[in-house]
Amino acid sequence: MLRNRDILELKRRFKKESCTFTRMCGCYVDANKNKVVELDENFLNLDDEEFYKYLDIAKRALSGTIGNNLLELKFTEDQSGQLTKQQYLLGLRESGLGNPELLEHLYDMIIEHYDYVGNYLILIFHDAYDVITKTNDDLKLDESEEVFRYLLCAICPVNLSKPGLGYREDEHRIGARIQDRVVGMPDVGFLFPSFVDRSADVNTLTYYVRDAKDSHKNFVENALGCGAKRTATEEQNTFHSIVKTAISPIIEKSDEVLLDIQESLNDIAEEHEAEMEDLVVIEPEAFTLTNEIIKDVLTKNDIPDAAVSLIQEQFTSEFSDTPPVVKNLVNEKAIEKNNKEKKEIKLLEEVATLKNELKETKEESEEKDKQIETLVSMEAPVNSEDAQRWAEVFLRMKPDKAEQVKAQTIDGQKYLLIPMGEDEHINLNGVDTTV
């Protein structure tokens, strides 16, 4: 199984002080698939400026995510009796890129099956890496396990530089800049043989593709002689297309439902990973999707039975021999964005609810105040002049206090008795006082 640490071990050597590329060959191809020029260089003798530029290209041909940009591909069996692509590559490796016929054959196979509109450069590096023995605690010993001899191929688009103005030194003026054809970073590439568990696996090659949306199936099968394999992005896009085609005619918000399905798949994948950790499995097998998982997930998300059956049928047709990894079918960025939007909507709803509750509380309080004022006023005059015309004595108090007022005759004189607490105040003709 292809691992990041094996790839990184090779890439760490792509430096001036540790690089051991013995040879670099190449072929520049124009838009009409004509070989314009061929290269054959002793790599370590290159000028520094060229050395570093080519080294950057080599690094990029082993970059990206395993399973998406980097795929481990197996060679297919050739029943025709002719020399297989694997045997060609083995012969080219053993020759150290010194067999012109094998080189030309590789160029021809790439030119015939690489679907690209425009000019491009084919580069092939040869290296012999003396793999140093490591102990269980990753300490290096000064002895060799094997010499890993390999080829690294990079196919780079060559495009015209952008037009613009520049200083024309020969004419001592500013004028239109001369456009050059510039070699870009690799579009596709491969490492043969694969470097697995710090050793050569001649039955596989490591395939690189820059754009994970298109793995160039025809190129893989016909130029490299390997069984095609979808990238994680291709698996995701294919599965999403199957689901949306089935549910769009019957479910209005199909995009939202697709996100819910992805969340369910993500939960299942995380549960499986947790189980593997509990079992202390160092390198568990890839957790792939099955029709049983599909049925459980779709049923959980209330997908009608007819649509479930259609999705299962299309899934079996598309992924018959190579079921996708469950985790590959989940667009984590889309789920994260969707969850963020859900939290924001929920927060807005909670704020709106609180506002309504505050408004209702305020309205209830105002209504109670009005009721109290109505009861207290007892239809009394609103100013002192009216009060004087209305009665000699004008009292205004809260209803519960008014109930405590009593009339009593003392020494032949009538009095109104108002019980007062120590902390109660009296406003007498506008003067605030206590008893």
Q: What percent of the chain has pLDDT over 90?
A: 54
Where are the chain's structural domains? 1-229, 231-330, 378-434
Helix axes 232-247 and 254-278, enclosed angle (nearest 10): 130
Q: Please name the residues in contact with 101: beta carbons below 8 A apart, sequence gap of 6 or more.
A: none
271-325 pLDDT tens trace? 888 887 777 655 667 789 999 999 999 999 999 999 999 999 999 999 987 889 9
pLDDT at residue number 163: 83
Q: Which of 24-38, 318-332, 356-370 has the lowest mean pLDDT?
A: 356-370
Helix (H) or strand (E) holding 85: helix 85-94
Res. 384: pLDDT tops 60 = no
Helix, strand, coil fractions of the chain, as percent rounded to 5: 40, 25, 35
pLDDT at residue number 235: 93
Biggest distance spanned by C-alpha atoms of the chain: 141
Q: Which of 47-51, 256-260, 385-389 has the lowest mean pLDDT?
A: 385-389
Helix axes 291-300 and 305-318, enclosed angle (nearest 10): 150
Res. 192: pLDDT tops 80 = yes
pLDDT at residue number 374: 65
**Which pTM value belongs to this model?**
0.74
Q: Give the pLDDT band (50/70/90) at residue 408.
A: confident
Q: Which of 27-36, 297-306, 396-405, 410-419 has the lowest mean pLDDT?
A: 396-405
Exposed, middle or buried by CB within 10 Å (0-12, 13-18, 19+), for 235? buried
Helix (H) or strand (E) holding 130: strand 119-134
Tell me how far apart the alpha carbons of residues 271 and 283 are, in angstroms, rounded to a whole number: 16
Q: What does 346-383 look like in DSSP terms, one character per residue?
A: HHHHHHHHHHHHHHHHHHHHHHHHHHHHHHHHTT--SS
- Average pLDDT, rounded, for the chain: 86
Res. 383: pLDDT tops 70 = no
Q: Which of 75-89, 105-119, 205-219, 240-254 has the lowest mean pLDDT?
A: 75-89
Q: Give the pLDDT band (50/70/90) at residue 372.
A: low
